[in-house]
Amino acid sequence: MLKYYVQLAFENIKRAPTLYLLVILTLSLGVGLLCANLALVNSMASDPIPHKSDRLFHVSMNTWVNENPHVQPLHIIRYRDAMQILKSDIPVNTAIFFVSNAYARDANAADLSRSRAVIRATNPGFFKLTDAPFAYGNAFTHINAKEVVIGDDLNNKVFGGGNNVGKSIELAGEIFTVVGILKPWDLRPLFYHVTENNAFNPTEDVFLPLETALDNDMSIGARSSSTDNWRVSSDTRERNVFYMQAWVELEKPSDKSAFENYLKNYSQSLKESGEHPNEIINDLHDVNEWMEKNNVVDQRIIAFTIATLLFLCVCVFNASSLLLSKFHAAKFEIGLRRAIGASNQQMLVQGLVESTIVGVIASAIALVFSWLFLKASIEFLPMLTNIAVLDIEVLAWGVGIAIIASNISVIYPLIRANRYTISAELK
């Protein structure tokens, strides 16, 4: 019977191609627009490192040196605070860092053209904490080495791709040795730096040892606050300049309590020396808590997604109206089929098989619409480039939503069709 129902469905589509084309386009438009927004929400809300997101914690401290009873923990810390965190042996991995910018070129190339590079000045633990994927080489091992790890994009721009470990790269007039090259690394969101509107930026081009970056006075490219005067980044080691961020990886719940006590003891020692005038508050947020705290999911996108869901409901209503007119025009055929023995259940099943086929066709067109909508979004809002991605999960949603929408649109016309009086239609 299933084979017969499928054959009958295609016959019906061939007999009224214009009507079914309108139904398919109507559903495709609604599903496509909804899936485009679901793709954005999915990228924003997805867990970027699910296998250990509950073990990675951002460290916030309120070591602000001026008295302010209302001060809250800052997401940025001083160099001395970062070094104290790095000294702890409680975390299995610790990452401290700040972001900078410079121009990069192949140090041995005759061509003097340069490429702009975003730099993450950090320590070796960053790579294990974030599970950075290496294509060639490995991480630098010292916090003050003249070595760098570069991303795949910069490797292609500067060296033309391939294994370039051991080659020299020039950054801001200084020469560094490339010890590692990353694979293409799409981290959505950029959990380790979601503040300052960086959540959907691509991963950095260069990863540079922290002390080396300070020794070379690399600029601070993100938020900073200070109670002291300073001129270059190397001055910040001994001054109250807040600009670094810290993450720790803790294996067990007991490690979290132990690390919280470690931070409390450090803050208490500052208070006893008169350097911590405010209440001791140190916060640890895991990856998903940190993203929620920083409102990574844009509420405007959520609101627009709800609007597109309502638009899909309108599309389903319009498709249902078109199908109702089709069934009304076929009253005689429906009456004849029921007269020769077709039950209401069989009529319903045949109609659902037909609508499922329509839904599958609509889903294919809807995914094309989704891709076009996302491309248009990127043109108007370039900041969406890194999250406007139709991944497998969203594609599966698109197919499922299209089939469900198609089946919903046909239910009322089928119920109405099965209520037609057989004798009245056969007169």
Kindly state whether residues 417 and 305 are assigned to the same domain. Answer: yes
Give the pLDDT of residue 346.
Answer: 67
On whether residue 289 sits in a domain, the answer given is: no
Percent helix, strand, coil in the chain, to 5, is: 50, 15, 30
**Whether residues 73 and 189 fall in one domain:** yes
Looking at the structure, tell me whether residues 259 and 388 fall in a common domain: no
Alpha helices per DSSP H over 94-206: 125-130, 152-159
Look at the block and give the residue holding tokens 């119920």: 415
- Tell whether 17 is covered by a domain: yes
| Residue 416 resides in a domain | yes
What tokens appear for 359 in the block?
């839904």
| Domain boundary pick from 280, 308, 331 | 280
Is the sign of the CA dihedral 8, 14, 16, 20 positive or negative? Answer: positive
Residue 6 pLDDT: 79
Let me know if 120 is exposed, middle or buried by CB neighbors in 10 A (0-12, 13-18, 19+): buried
Give helix then strand counts, H and E, for the chain.
13, 12
Q: Are residues 227 and 320 in the same domain?
A: no
Q: Is there a single domain that holds both residue 254 and residue 341?
A: no
- For residue 292, being part of any structural domain is answered with no
Mark residue 155 as left, alpha or beta (left: phi above 0; alpha: psi -120 to 50; beta: remaining). alpha
Stretch (H or E) spanning 20: helix 17-45
Distance CA 387, CA 376 (A): 13
Indicate if the alpha-carbon torsion angle 319, 320, 323, 328 is positive or negative. Answer: negative
Query: Would residue 236 count as lying in a domain?
Result: yes
Point out the residues of the chain with pLDDT beneath 70.
5, 327-347, 417-427
* E strand or H helix at 101: strand 93-106
**Tokens 């599309």 map to which residue?**
315
> Rounded to a whole number, what is the largest CA-CA distance in the chain?
102
152 domain residue, yes or no: yes
For residue 84, give the H/E element and its range: helix 79-87
CA 287 to CA 370: how far, in whole Å?
A: 29
Closest CA to 390 of 382, 399, 380, 381: 399
C-beta neighbour count of 160 within 10 angstroms? 9
Euclidean distance between CA atoms 296 and 298, whole angstroms? 6
350/311 same-domain check: yes
Of the chain, the percentage scoring pLDDT greater than 90 comes to 64
Helix (H, G, I), strand (E, B) or coil at 286: strand
- Considering the domain architecture, whether residues 266 and 237 belong to the same structural domain is answered as yes
Of the candidates 279, 283, 302, 281, which has an alpha carbon nearest to the alpha carbon of residue 293? 283
The count of domains in the chain is: 2
Give the type of residue at 17: P
Helices (H), 241-343: 253-272, 287-293, 299-329, 331-339
Is residue 100 located within the same domain as residue 199? Answer: yes
Q: Are residues 101 and 204 in the same domain?
A: yes
CB-based contact 174:230 (threshold 8 Å): no
**Measured distance CA(3)–CA(199) in Å, rounded:** 51
**Within-domain flag for 228:** yes
Residue ranges making up the domain that contains 207:
63-280
Dist. CA 152–CA 204, nearest whole Å: 10
Verify that 83 and 159 share a domain, yes or no. Answer: yes
Does residue 355 sit in the same domain as residue 307? yes
- DSSP lists the bridge partners of residue 102 as 117
Is residue 258 domain-shared with residue 319, that is, in the same domain? no
Is 184 part of any domain?
A: yes
